[in-house]
Structures are given as structure tokens and as C-alpha cells.
Structure 1
Amino acid sequence: MVLLLTILVSMFALPQHVFAVDYSIENTEINAYLQENGDVQVTEQHTYQFDDEFNGITRALIPKEQTQIIDFQASENNTALTVEQEENLYKIYRSGSDQKISIDLSYTITNGVEVYTDLAQFYWPFFDNSNESAYLNMDIYIHPPQSTGDALALGYDEAYETSTIAPDGVVHFAMGEVPSGRNGDIRVAYDASLFAASTMFDGTIREEMEADQIRLAEEAAAYENRKEMLSRISPYLISGVTIYLLLLFITVWRRKQSRLLEAERSISSLLSLPNSNMSLPATILYMRNMSPKSDLLVAALLDLVRKGYVKRDGDRTFVSVDSKQDYQHESILINWLFHKIGDHGVFSLSALDTYVQDKHNHSDYHSDYQKWVQAVKKELKKHALIDKQIGLRWMTAIVGLFLIPFSIILGVHSIFTPMVFSIMLSLIFILFAMIYQPKTVEGVRIKQQWEQLHSNYSNISEQEWNDWMSDQQMQAYIYAIGTGHKAMQKKSEHLSKSFTGPATTDTTSQTNDIVMLVLIASTMTQEFDKAGTIVSATTSSGNAGGGAGVGGGGGGSGAF
């Protein structure tokens, strides 16, 4: 649930784009003056409101094929500003802080007008979907070479149905607010005779433009029909999916309660070390929610000492004395520590330090560590402590994936409230499918037994602890080391110092072993932590636009 809430907050509460400068483009006016020779002289005025320090603004201008952008200039109140060009991106330098500024731009588009036998058209994208800044208000004016009453105008995407034609032929696209990441091509055509000095292409375009007008009108009507239908059905669909989700959670909760009750029946109320067929390292990894750390490695090594496969030789050296092990991961660990890092079955902390100081060994260290961890996980899989619930997870994943295109369709049709709920439901279903792997009854039983030991261990009396076999005492302490349970470690250290068991040779030796584990565990953890840090350090590891407008052109605005 924490993961889910974090993702949802990130999606809906945080900004989608984090800019280096806090600004908004409050007003943009573009005037395009078509010339008889087919060139287009453009003036733009952009009004920015800055709420932070800034160094200037940017303008991306991506020319269409067979056109060029030339003579780009910038000014403020008729004072020229410095311009730096990086391919299709122009950086206009004008520094300041927390103020409103209006910057004037001018440039020429060569061959911007395409002249055919019947009409001459200016078909241009002043921005495209690579634009990262919203225009809060945009007006575009297209001026013919001379006054004329014959003009055609089309707007695509954000420019659709925004044009008006004045009696003198000037076309005004009143586009209003234009969100970032949108296309909005404009297309204006005049009589070809107004461009007598331009090169003429064969063919006509009037029929094409009239066909586009009809097509756009039909698409708009179809869009409205789909929007109306989606508005009707979306509440029912989202309500149905929500009910299914609630039933799913209720079913999961009831199954969990049933497993808990069944596991509790087999748990003893007495304080004792849980019985398990698993190795101690596998138990520790399971209790750590499959998150291995260096203290798990220390616990595994000490468990080999407890089982007699490894003997201590002083405080910092261990010797492998038995080639027979119970588990594959024990064999892997002994081969790694005692024959690869160590030498001839002898492992020491100084050998570990020497090994990791050589960078050529880092890759092998990381690989061998992962191989050992995977072997421990392989043992866990054999005990079937986790119920994969494959069928249920696939079903919820399919529902979640189905909601993704449905959310996109709702967004395309500007049905935003149902879209938000659809996205949230989709995330919940997909996350559920990814992370839902409940414990089996046996898994719950083991978890509860060890958690019960956690809770009650601080209350264990010296007499009760003395009644345990020394092997059990060592297991409890090694478990506390591997899980990082500090309270259990301190309690074991206190109890081991006051041990009053039978004074036999064997018990004295085992008691000394427990005391020695207490003394060396902290040092070993620090050394393996240090080795892991050294190894992980080695083994870890302004947009000019996309030209998505007509003819590969486009652009956008920004600041820096």
C-alpha cells in the first residue's frame, strides 16, 4: 500500500516536468507576412512571467523540407538581444529575476509559400508535440501580399476551428490556451496570382483543401459521438471494476485470516526455538522478506561453525574441516570463502580484505555472492512457503492492462475525471498482480513462530535459557545476528555471560563458542559490510524538438 500511494502521489500531485526555471508563457502573438516571391517574414512576441531567476528564453524552429529559417533576431523594447543558435534551437539571452518580460523575435522562412496553378498555400507548424511549454494564449495572424477577398483557412489539431478571415484576407487563428506536447498546424491559401514572383508547382490543391474540410468536420462529429458514448458508459464500467476490486480485497483478506487461524492451531504457547526443516540461512532470508545483507553472510558462516563443518582458529581465522555439507548453498559458501578468497580451506578476515582490495576480483566477488544467495533462495522454494496464485494474478493483470487503453481513450476525448479513476484502478490491479504472493499455511506458521520468539525473547529467564541445549542457544544468537535483531543479540550476550549449565567438557566448549560468537560477530559484520561496499562501488553502475508537424517542421518555446 505504501508503494501504491507513493506512485499515485508521484503521478497526480507532482509536476510532470521539472524545469530549471519557474515560468509561464502568458501571451504569444505571431504574424506571418507572405511575400510575392514565396518567402515569409515572421514576427513573434512572447510574454513570459518568471517566478525565479532566469538567463533567457529559447525558441525551437524546425523548418519543413525545402525551406530554411534565416535572419533570426531578437529584441526587447527595440533593443537587440544576444542570440546563440544550436541547430534548430535558438537561445535568447536576457537575464533577470521574478518579472514579466516581452521578447520580440523576427526571422524569414525561405520558400515558405507553395504556389500551385490554382492556389498558393502557407502550410506551417509553428509548434509541434515536442514543445515542452504551454502557451496560455496564442494568436497567429497570416497576412497576404496584398488585400484580397479570396482566402481559404484550415486548422489541424489544436488549431481546428479557430480561424476567422477578415475582409482584407488576413486570417486570424485565435487558438487560446495550447497545452504542451500538442500539434497545431495552420494552413492558409490565396489565389496563385498574388505570388507571381514565386516558382509554381504543377497541380491544384483547392479540391484537396475542400476534402480536408469535409474530413475534419466528419472526424469532429465522430469524435463528439464517441465522447458522448464514453461519457455514458464510463461510470458503469468504472463502478463495476471498483466493485470487483472490493470483492477481490475481501476474498484475499478472508483467505489470509483462514491461513492465520490454521497456522495458530499448530503453534506452541511455550517459548522455544521453532522447529523447521529449513537451514538457518534460509530461515533468516525468509524472515528478512528475501532481502539479503552482509549479516546474513556472517550468520551463514557462524552456522557452519555451529554445525562443526568449520572450526575457529583464533578470532579472525576459520578452517574448513568437513567436506560434507547438508545443503548446496553451504558447499557454495565454503568453496567461495575457504578456497577462492581464502587458501587451502583457510579463511580469514585479512584474506577477505586483501581479496577485495584487488579490483580484478570485484566482479567474481559479486557473482559468487549472488550465486550463493540464489542457492539459499532455491532451498526456500522447495519448502513452498509462498503461494504464487498464478491464476488470480493473471486475471487481475489482464483487468489492469485493459484499463490502460481505456484510460488513454478517455484522455483523448477529454473525459478527465473517469480517466483519473481508471488510471488509479489500473495501477492498483497491476501492482496487485505484481506483488500479491501470500504465504502458505506453513509459511505463516514459521513466520509466526519466529515473530513470537522475537516478542518474548527479552522475557526469557536465565533458567529457561540454561535449559536449552547449547546448540539451540547458538542458533538463537546466530538468528539474531542474521536478522539484525539487536534486542535478541543483547539478550543472548547477557545470558551467555551468566550461563550456569552443567560443567562438562562439552558444555564448557560450547559455552565458550557462544561467548566467542558474541565477540567476533560484530567485527565480522563490519568486515563483510566493508567488502560489500568496496565491491558495489565498482560493479554498480534543452530539447530542440522532434519536427512532428507538417512536412517535418515544428518547434516550441522554453527558458533557461
Structure 2
Amino acid sequence: MKPLCLVCVKDFEVNGAMKKLLIVFFACFLLLFPAKKGLAVEFSITDAKIDAYLQKNGDVAVKETFTYDFDSKFRGITREIVPKKGASIKDFAAFEKGKPLKVEKEGDVYKIYRSGKKEKITVELRYRITGGMEKYEDGVQFYWPFFDERNESDYLRMTIAVHPPEAADQVLALGYDEAYGKEDIRDDGTVVFRLGEVPAGENGDIRVIYEPELFPGMGMKAGTIREKVLKEKEHFAEKAKKYAETRDALRKAGNGLIPAMLVFFAVLFPAAFLSSRRKKRLVEEHLERLQFHVPEEKLSIPATIYFTSGYIFKPETAAAALYDLLRKGYVKQETEDRFVLVNGRTEHPHERKLIRFLFEQVGNGKEFSLKELKKFTNNRKNLEIYQSKMMEWKRKIAEEVKQAGLYETKAGLRWGVAAVGVLLGISAVFFGIYELYVPFIGTLLGSAAALLFAIFYHPKSDKGLEILLEWQRLRERLRHLTKDQWDLLSDGEKQRLIAYGIGVDNAPFKKAFNAFLEAEKRSFPEGTGFIYNPAYTVAIFTAADSRAGAFSGGASGSSGGGVGGGGGGSGAF
């Protein structure tokens, strides 16, 4: 009779595919964020060969040969053998070139001592399994997990051979998970599972059935085993057929989806870019026709600085905000250091926040000085208050910008692109499950691109572009402005430009701005006029921010995945 070969999968291929998909994600993560070298032994298991010799009395004599390639110092290797329920491991021993090695057992882990440094070694392990086989009326079964998901080491090449006590011709061989489809039944009944590379954390049970006459020393259980296995084969064969059909359908779908996705993005991105560019060009052409002027106050000065400076708050912003309170008449300056509150009813909420903090918390309710602010923030107990109040002030400025209509919502377009991103993401999941990695990567990247576009695409409105470009244009033109042109500006324009200039931290602009600011100061009679000192004010807020920043900166075991709860793995120490 010719040998009969049967192969099935324990949880079928979809579960294995999911594990492989997770491995792909994990591998990408490790490439981006490689683990730091620690005290762990560095090694690889280049070859693993397991020979299981079935005995007539039901015992199994096992010989395992592992080849380790070490890249560091080591003290030995480990082998975890967790017997399945009802079985046990006996007479474990280790050898190197026939020489016995010291072995210590800790639970189900055997530690084999063989120290060295940066070398390749081959160790032979021998042990006996009792209670690992079952005899039925129509066959004897050896169903065993030589490794399972607890294994923490990759096997670069693994082979498992099961040898009957004598020649056999009624052989069933089943491989699960990593052993699926890897069996080879030889003429004498020996079954060889050539697993090849086995990643860490995988299962790979093997199952072999021989005729019962080969094992006269075993007691027989009532019932049969072969028909059960044949039904299992049919079940998994049907699943395998459906899996293959679905995979083929997905592959064909991917062949059409990827080009369609590329065309979609080839239209979407250029269209969005060209639309923004065209709008920007129209605003620039309008501004080019205008003479030099200081833009009108379409936002408050602190909000304008925040919007036109990349949404960054700096100490200069606070200094500009304080000067802006002077410009609007809410505050009066008596000396370079001291300020008096005139009117607390301001136009914008962030102005009220700043006044209440500086005058009510730092000052006495009616006036405050920069020296008092310095003294306030020198006290560690006040630093949390400073941070909180300044954060509230910044939040109100950001709210003004957000509510000013400076961006287009493009809700319809963004929701549509988001829907495409979700569909591509769902497609990527299915491609990954069915191990179609080219369309998986393509649709995954496409999904990420679509969702990022939907989240972050909100182009500036005409108002937003005009504010941004006219203040940027002022920064450029101020460097070429003459003294006569400066003198032609109205007092309101000068004050507005001074408030903005104090808050902008841009070296070329600052150089020109400071020159005009000094000229403006000299235009007042001595002892009158302009006494606000931007550099001194910026220095006070810089020191306060620095102190606040420094203050805040200081400020069960699982069951096995193999048959019968058994399994194990390999390692080193």
C-alpha cells in the first residue's frame, strides 16, 4: 500500500497570516527604532535538527542538534521543553562532540553550560518522552509540539524527522502552523518536516500516525483516529480552497485598485497645490499695485504676530502685547519700568487676560512694574501661576486666530478624501491578512496619505492670505524704506508697525526696524514721548519664561500554544 499523506492547519492560514502581518509591522518598528544593545547575549540559531525515534513501548527517544553562532560572550544555551498534558520528559542530557555538558533544570527550562566568546558551536541534546503517544484501534498517534509561541529565538533552518520502530506503509502526516505543508513521507515510513526558517513566537505542532501493529508494547484506547483525521483534512481543504479563491480575487482587485489610487492622488495633490498657488498669485498681484503702507488691523497685533510667525509664541510676543495695550490707551507708562492701568475694558479677551495677570496678580490692581514681574517669577511658588496665566493668554490669542476665518474648511473635499482613506485602510487589512504584501503596502501608504490630507488640508482663505502676505511684504519693504517715506506714515501707522515690529524675531527685519525706532525716539523732545524699552521688556519676559520652563522640566504566566499545552523553545545566556 502506498503511503497516505495528510496535511492540515490547526487554526487555518488566516491566523498565521495575521501573525505574519504583525511581524511585518514589528519589523518596520524595529527598523525605525532599533533596540539599544544591553547585556543580552547576541546569537543566532543557524540550524536545528530534531530526530524523534518512536519506540514499540510508546516512548520516544529524541535527539536534537542545534548550531549556535554567537556574536558576544556567552555562558551557555537553554532549551525549554513543556510536555503536553499526560506526558513527561526523562533522562535529559547534553553533549558537544560526544563530551557531556553540565545541565541544570529550572521548571521546564534546561540550562546547558558551555561558555565562550564569538564562536559557532553545535550542541546535541538527548531525552526521552513518556506518555507522548496514543494507541487507537486503527493507528498510533505521535502528536507533539517541539516548540510553540513561547519560543523567543528564530530558527534559521529547522528540520523535524519522525522515525517509526520499523518500516511502515500506512502513514498519515499532519503539520500545523509553521509545519503546514512541510512533510515528506519516505519509503520506510519516516516523516521529515522541512520547516525552513521559523520566526520566534510561532507554533508548529507535528502529527504522525502509524499502524498499531508496530507498537505491541502500548495499551490500546477504545475508538479510532484515522477517520477523524480524514474529516479534519476535508474541513481544512475546503477552507484552504476558499482562502485561495479569496486571495486570488483580492490579488486581481489589488491590480486594479493600486493604479486607480495612484491616478486619484495624481489628480488630487496637484489640483490642491495649483488652487492654492493661483489664489496666492492673485493676492500678490493685488498687493504689488499698492504703495508701501502699514496693513490695517484685521486681527489684533498679538494675533497677527502669532499668525504670521508660524504659530510660535516668544517673549517678543508678550513685549509687543504690552506695548499694544499702551497703543490702545488701556495702559499708561510712567517710567521705563512702571505701568498704570487706565481702562480694563478691552476689545479682545486675551488683552483682559494679560491685564488681569500683570496688574492684579503681579501688581497692586492699579499699576505694576517689570521689576515686580521679575521678583514674582524669582519666587518658585509663583512659577506655576505664571505658566498657567500665560498659557491662558496664549490660548485666547490662538482662539482669535481660529475664529477669524483665515482658513477654508473644504469640508466636502476633506470628508470625501477621508472616506477614500478609510476604504484604503480596510483594503490594506484584507491584503495583509491574505499575505498580498505589495498591495498591502501600497494601500496602507495610500490610506495614510489620504487621512493626513483630510486632517491637515485647510488652505488659507482670501482674508488669511491677504493678512499673511501683506505683513510679509512689509517685512521685505521695510529694509528698503527711506527716512522720508517713514516720515510720511501717519502716527497710527507708525504705532501699529512699532507694535508689530517689537513682536517679530527676524534678524534682517529687526535691523531695519530698530533703526527707524531709534529715529522715532529722537523725534521727541528729551524727557517726553517714547519711553517704552522693547529690549528691556523682552529680557524680563525671556528670563521669566526660562525660569518657568526649568521649573516644569524638573518638575502572569500564559498557557502554551502547542498541542496539550505543550511546547517550548531555545535561547542562550
Q: TM-score range by the shorter chain?
A: 0.7 to 0.9
Q: Name 2:271's counterpart in structure 1.
A: 251
Q: Could you list the per-position Cα deviations for residues 456-488 of structure 1 after superposition, in whole angstroms to 9, with x for gaps in the alignment?
A: 333233343344456645544554554432332
Deviation at 1:383, TM superposition (A): 1.1
Partner of 1:456: 477
Does residue 1:164 correspond to 2:181, yes or no? no
Whole-Å Cα distance in 2 between the matches of residues 50 and 462 of structure 1? 77
Q: Which region of structure 1 is more displaced relative to structure 2, 214-223 or 56-65?
A: 56-65
Q: 1:136 aligns with which of 150, 156, 181?
A: 156
Alignment correspondent of 1:526: 543
Root-mean-square deviation over aligned CA pairs = 4.1
1:226 matched to 2:246? The reply is yes
Report the TM-score when normalising by structure 1. 0.80
Cα distance in 2 between the residues matched to 1:320 and 1:201 = 98
For residues 496 and 367 of structure 1, the distance between their equivalents in structure 2, rounded to whole angstroms, comes to 33
Distance 1:159 1:373, change over 3 A: same
- CA–CA separation in structure 1 for the residues paired with 2:374 and 2:447: 53
Q: Which residue of the partner structure matches residue 425 of structure 1? A: 446
Q: CA deviation digits over 1:301-320, x for unaligned, max 9? A: 44334434345576666554
Q: Deviations over 1:344-374 (max 9, x none)?
A: 463633344245x239x63x55544443333
Tell me the equivalent position of 1:353.
377
Give the alignment of 1:135-214 within 5 angstroms.
Answer: 135-144=155-164, 148-180=168-200, 182-191=202-211, 204-214=224-234
Count of aligned residue pairs for this structure pair: 540
Q: Distance in 1 between matches of 2:175 and 2:68?
A: 25
Q: Equivalences for 1:228-243 in 2 at 5 Å? A: 228-243=248-263
Q: 1:164: how far off?
A: 2.0
TM-superposed CA distance for 1:254, in Å, is: 2.9
Q: Which of 258-267 and 91-100 deviates more?
A: 91-100
What CA distance in whole angstroms lies between the structure 2 residues aligned with 1:488 and 1:146? Answer: 93
* Aligned counterpart, 1:263: 283
| Equivalent position to 1:499, from 505, 520, 535 | 520
Contact in 2 for aligned 1:157/1:184 (Cα 8 Å): yes
Q: Deviations over 1:254-295 (max 9, x none)?
A: 321332134235425433332232112222222244344554
For residues 222 and 309 of structure 1, what CA distance do their matches in structure 2 show?
A: 77
CA contact (8 A) 1:60 1:545 kept: no
Contact between 1:34 and 1:144, CA under 8 Å: does it hold in 2? yes
Instruction: Report the counterpart of residue 17 of structure 2 in structure 1.
Output: none
CA distance in 2 between counterparts of 1:197 and 1:367 reads 82
The one-letter code matched in structure 2 to 1:331 is R
Aligned equivalent of 1:373, options 390, 394, 406: 394
Structure 1 residue matching 2:530: 3-state secondary structure: helix
* In 1: Cα distance, 2:85 partner to 2:332 partner: 78
2:510 is the alignment partner of 1:465: no
Secondary structure, aligned partner of 1:498: helix
User: Relative to structure 1, is the Cα distance of residues 37 and 333 closer, same or farther in structure 2, using a 3 angstrom cutoff?
Assistant: farther
8 Å contact from structure 1 (residues 312, 319) kept in 2: yes
In the TM superposition, what is the alpha-carbon distance from 1:139 to its structure 2 partner? 0.6
- 8 Å Cα contact 1:477-1:489 kept in structure 2: no
Name the aligned partner's letter for residue 421 of structure 2.
G
Q: Which amino acid in the other structure matches residue 349 of structure 1?
A: L
- Give the Å deviation of 1:517: 1.2
Give the 5 Å matches for 1:96-135: 98-105=118-125, 111-113=131-133, 118-128=138-148, 133-135=153-155
Output the amino acid matched with 1:187.
R
The equivalent residue for 1:4 is none
Q: Which amino acid aligns with 2:462?
A: V
For 1:535, the aligned partner's letter is S
* CA offsets 1:157-190 (integer angstroms, 9 cap, x no match): 3211111234554321111123455443322234
Matching residue of 2:408? 387
| Residue aligning to 2:311 | 290
1:329 aligns with 2:350: yes
Contact 1:545 1:556 (C-alpha < 8 Å) held by counterparts: no
Question: 1:89–1:260: structure 2 CA closer, same or farther, 3 Å change rule?
Answer: farther
Letter in 1 for 2:373: L
Residues 84 and 524 of structure 1, relative CA distance in 2, 3 Å threshold: farther
Output one character per residue of 1:295-339: Cα deviation in whole Å (capped at 9) or x when no partner.
444443443344343455766665544321211122223334443
Change in Cα spacing, 1:309 to 1:28, as seen in structure 2 (3 Å) is farther
Indicate the residue corresponding to 1:511 in structure 2.
530
* AA matched with 1:517: P
Q: 1:489 to 1:557 in 2, by over 3 A?
A: farther
* Letter aligned with residue 436 of structure 2: I
Deviation at 1:154, TM superposition (A): 0.6
In 1, distance between residues paired with 2:381 and 2:308? 34
Question: 3-state DSSP class of the match of 2:172?
Answer: strand
Distance in 1 separating the partners of 2:277 and 2:70: 57
Amino acid at match of 1:251: A
Shift of 1:252: 0.8
- Amino acid of the structure 1 residue aligned with 2:271: T
Please identify, of 368-377 and 343-352, the stretch whose mean Cα deviation from structure 2 is larger: 343-352
- Aligned partner letter, 1:219: K
The one-letter amino acid of 1:445's match is E
Query: How has the CA–CA distance of structure 1 residues 45 and 334 changed in structure 2, closer, same or farther, with 3 Å as cutoff?
Result: farther
The one of 408, 414, 425 equivalent to 1:404 is 425
One-letter amino acid of the counterpart of residue 287, structure 2: I
TM-aligned CA distance change 1:342 to 1:418, over 3 Å: same
Q: Gapped runs of 5+ residues in structure 2? A: 1-24
Contact preservation (8 Å) 1:121, 1:189: yes
Q: Is the 8 A contact 1:37 1:198 kept in 2?
A: yes
Describe the SS at the equivalent of 2:292. Answer: coil
Q: Distance in 1 between matches of 2:251 and 2:464?
A: 47
Q: Distance in 2 between matches of 1:274 and 1:84?
A: 82
8 Å CA contact 1:276–1:446 kept in 2: the answer is no
Aligned to 1:14: 31
Distance 1:266 1:231, change over 3 A: same
Aligned-pair CA distance for 1:204: 4.2
1:520 to 1:104, Cα distance in 2 relative to 1, 3 A: farther
**Shift in CA distance, 206/440, structure 1 to aligned 2, threshold 3 Å:** same
Q: Which residue of 1 aligns with 2:465?
A: 444
Which whole-Å deviations, capped at 9, do the CAs of 1:94-150 have from their partners, x for residues lacking one? 665554333445566665445556545343444445656543211112345666544
3-state secondary structure, aligned to 1:48: strand
Instruction: Name stretches of at least 5 consecutive residues in structure 1 with no aligned partner.
Output: 1-7
